[in-house]
Chains A and B, each alone.
Chain A
């Protein structure tokens, strides 16, 4: 049975702008939602958990390499924060493997496409977000409602 993996990516605008060239669609069974951030350092537990609560099977964060972060420490902060969120994901029972951090240089165009493929493959191994099996009907992970979009809308 085909299952559409839901992937949410929080992407630093600098990687996003310069690397947004996904090339050919990697896989038709991925439903991907990318949310542009002013900096990877803007990511926090609220937005990550919101994505999972809305049914994301996996979440990835793409930020610039630490030494290239235009906000100097944003990328480093993201890494530290995600480590802590991973511990929380284990405690929740979703598992830390569902959260991934990638460092993408702004000039590395095809890398973002690779990341999406990698993340999608990972989802295949990890399995669906258990919340999706508990709930009836489809829940989209689009940004139509509440805090996720509001928090991130400031660009």
Chain B
């Protein structure tokens, strides 16, 4: 199935991003997350992107996730590009000021990267360098506005004109499970106002709770202004399920799910089945334009999940 570029002829695209075209063509988009290694070798990234590129429309690469030093997002993105994959870089506000961020964005675009996800970033106390000075010169909302300004106004934050502007497709993240929920709706609206064009949410396990949030989003008309990708995190084992339930802030994992994995003969197989079921439930929710799959430490699970969810093969983009 191809996305008909000709049908869209005459339309003014904001970017060269294939994601922009897929969303415009009402495709159910699939993005996948790759975590860069804690080392200077990109073998993992290149192997995974080669194996998995046909199972997703783009690869997110995290930016020193959990504030632990990893191979940089932009560098990993270049490795992915070389394998023919479509990278989505992440930029956090924790480690870089506005000067470095703008500089990195110019560099990233020049290297062929077309998609960026803007986040605040986990606090450095979570990572392996808790004594580091943090930056947070700007926050994620200001970052989104910054990327938009560079692209649409062709200007740096200070107002100086850019010789060649970076035309990024702009993404952000949102946590549908944080309380108070009205703040999560307000914040998403703000990000959209600032220029966010697609959103990736935290992993969804509690469909009912997620439905409630989506209902509020649709009520506020936000679903019409931004493309929301619901997060899906395949659970590899009971231990992982329990760990996330107890220790990861903002995750809402129902007891029934944990019990289901506990009773399963093959926990991995059960984990994949659960993800497939969650995806099929997510597809039915109004406003959900795709899924963002995060196979943490289990990239090999991606092909089976995408296939069994009926999302394979992925559409081609002109």
**Within 8 Å by CB, do A and B touch in the complex?**
no
